A and B are shown apart, each in its own frame.
Chain A
Amino acid sequence: MRNALGSVDTVLLLGGRSEIGLAVVERLVRAGASRVVLAARGGTAPAERLRELGAEVHVLDFDASRPETHPALIEEAAAKLGDLDVVIPAFGVLGSQAVYDDDPVAAARDVAVNFGGHVSAGLAAARRLREQGHGALVVLSSVAGVRVRKANFVYGSAKAGLDGFAQGLADSLHGTGVRVVLVRPGFVIGRMTRGMTPAPMSVTADAVADAVVEALGSGRGTVWVPARLRPVFAVMRILPRDVWRRMPR
């Protein structure tokens, strides 16, 4: 249970090796969370560091591309943790648009992870949280989905779908005691973007994690990281189409 000062006790990370996800979990553990499930492909995840911080850590096998396994995975995590205080689906793949252009099947496969996997895992988690009457679901959207660019429109459109899904889910959970925290990071320098030239206003996984933890505490429903991306995208969203089309990346 979340306590009066906002610390939580249990955390479930789906995509148990995600850089952003682990940075959030580490902060929650430092603030008092005592039980963690890391769910990752192949059932291996860096649990040691969290254990050193005093948490009890379980590692489960989880594949985002197999939606039929998601409800059981959520129940298994709840059996390990008790009530789920915070659920963070942090899995995702950032493929290259050029590759997708030549390999439509690969594109569909990644969309199934970036969007479909979040739908099945998100709904399974939401069902559990709704029954609990409390808990928070952290959804890692992206500015790439706020206005989709030609440079990565497969990834971007999946994120746009996810963003809409999270908004609808948040509204459907209103009044149930369950919260959705919708996070819209810009370019995050790290593992997922290795080898790419950072876009303007890029941030680190740590900065994203700080913002997520702040939002979990304050009750904010939507977070942009960095915060100034919000006014920037208010403008981006209304740029005329022929200007937007010329965005270099």
Chain B
Amino acid sequence: MTPLTGWGRTAPTPATVLRPRSADEAAALLKEAGRRGVVARGLGRAYGDAAQNAGGLVLDCAALAPSWSLDEETGLVTASAGMSLHDLMTALLPRGWFVPVTPGTRYVTVGGAVAADVHGKNHHADSSFGAHLRSLRLLTADGTLRTLGPGDDLFWATVGGMGLTGVVVEAAFRCVPVETSRMRVDVRRTRDLEETLEVMTAGDHDYRYTVAWIDLLARGGRMGRSVLTRGDHARLDELPPRARRDPLAFGPRPRLSAPPWVPDGLLNRATIGAFNALWYGRAPADRRGLIQGVAPFFHPLDGVGGWNRMYGSRGFVQYQFVVPFGAEDTLRRIVERLSRAGVVSFLTVLKRFGEGTPGMLSFPMPGWTLALDIPVGQDGLAAMLTEFDGWVAAAGGRLYLAKDSRMSAATMAATYPRLEEWRAIRRRADPDGLFVSDLARRLRL
């Protein structure tokens, strides 16, 4: 038995971890599952307990047949579920293709991207990962490998289904052509939350990628002040002459690694406050046409390996919710309350979502999404977040399963209106409940 946690390093539970290298091996290993069932795991970047299965079996799929192919005509990529987006970018960018959606880290597997129906900075323009999927190969509870497409309801129960319908073995999705591996970026600071919302609403559609980083520790008139970064893939003629020689170069390496042991409380109000002030203070008031690599633009945190250890032994939670457009008051109330309570959050990110996918448990819906990281141990944190859950639910919003580690089964049921429909499809595909995770038990999925 190996103790496992998610990226937030909270609530560890032990499981038997096996590493299938092929679909056949995975099918054979399903038979090893006992009463406690089985769930797939990718690179463990979900923050909570989605890829854990206390007392049961966890199939570590990160070594699942690393293979991919690209149709140079259409940009259709077929990749095994264990491939990471990092590996895919390394393979595809030099050929002039970019993944359709990337989360804030490249170190997620294709299987994890499907299971969480991940979104990126382009959600307002391009929706989430599932929207670009053409087909899936899914290993189901009966040991068979099914090929599924967007016409199958099991496909949409799997997209966003958090590994609970089976093991994704392979996925085919459309990539986007790019002339360069760089981004053309505009950076802009805003005074307060109102201006942040205004500027994003007015200008997001001019960019493929946008996100706002909020300085949560700013109070009073400056509450909600933000740094907006918005950009597009740079065209060849936008690169400086030197970069044009190798316009599709991509070879980022983690530059630093967090030390293996960090004293608890290193990230506290003072250090996070200083970091936030520095970040805001160093951002340009309004700067256009910056040329930046893909890695610093999309994955700034990947520059520090194992940064999650910086939060100390108790770990941290990520709280990410979405509320529909029109519910800005709820967003405002939450930001106000967080800022008043002096909650320390290292990175607080605000983003506008566009259309969702038909994924029944998929998170995104048109509206505002806010994500914050909070070290465990702040007084009153549990009660405050529970209160937020109520506000988010009342506004017709919900929380992201890939980030959640603490909501209640009741909140889940109240905020995912298609849960019953999803359950029925899952029951058909897996009548004995072979696939199960700590998250599934906690939320009684």
With an 8 A cutoff between CB atoms, is B373 at the interface? Answer: no
Within 8 A of A (CB), among B372-425: 376, 381-382, 385-386, 405-410
Q: Is the CB of A134 within 8 A of B444?
A: no
Q: Is the CB of A32 within 8 A of B408?
A: yes
Q: Is the CB of A132 within 8 A of B55?
A: yes
Tell which of A3, A6, A31, A134 touches B54, judged by Cβ atoms closer than 8 Å.
A134
Which residues of B lie under 8 Å from residue A175 when comparing CB positions? 1, 14
- Against A, the Cβ 8 Å flags (1 = close, 0 = not) of B8-45 are 10111111000000000000000000011000000000
With an 8 A cutoff between CB atoms, is B442 at the interface? Answer: yes
Q: Which residue of chain B lies nearest to A133 when distances are taken between CB atoms in the complex?
A: B55
With an 8 A cutoff between CB atoms, is A83 at the interface? Answer: yes
Which residues of B lie under 8 Å from residue A134 when comparing CB positions? 13, 54-55, 438
Q: Is the CB of A4 within 8 A of B13?
A: no
Q: Max chain B CB contacts within 10 Å: which of A3, A6, A31, A82? A: A3
Which residues of B lie under 8 Å from residue A83 when comparing CB positions? 54, 441
Q: Is the CB of B406 within 8 A of A4?
A: yes
Task: Provide the bound-state CA to CA distance between A7 and B49, in Å.
Answer: 14
Given A31-B382, A132-B36; A177-B13 close (CB under 8 Å): yes
With an 8 A cutoff between CB atoms, is A232 at the interface? Answer: no
CB distance from A214 to the nearest CB of B (A): 14
CB distance from B380 to the nearest CB of A (A): 11
Task: Provide the bound-state CA to CA distance between A7 and B406, in Å.
Answer: 8
With an 8 A cutoff between CB atoms, is A2 at the interface? Answer: yes
Q: Is the CB of A3 within 8 A of B11?
A: yes
With an 8 A cutoff between CB atoms, is B315 at the interface? Answer: yes
With an 8 A cutoff between CB atoms, is A5 at the interface? Answer: yes
Q: Is the CB of A1 within 8 A of B1?
A: no
With an 8 A cutoff between CB atoms, is B48 at the interface? Answer: yes
Task: Provide the bound-state CA to CA distance between A6 and B315, in Å.
Answer: 12
Within 8 A of A (CB), among B79-137: none
Q: Is the CB of B386 within 8 A of A32?
A: yes
With an 8 A cutoff between CB atoms, is B56 at the interface? Answer: yes
Interface residues, chain A, with chain B CB atoms under 8 Å away: 1-7, 9, 31-32, 34, 82-83, 130-134, 175-177
Interface residues, chain B, with chain A CB atoms under 8 Å away: 1, 3, 8, 10-15, 35-36, 48-49, 54-56, 315, 317, 376, 381-382, 385-386, 405-410, 438, 441-442, 444
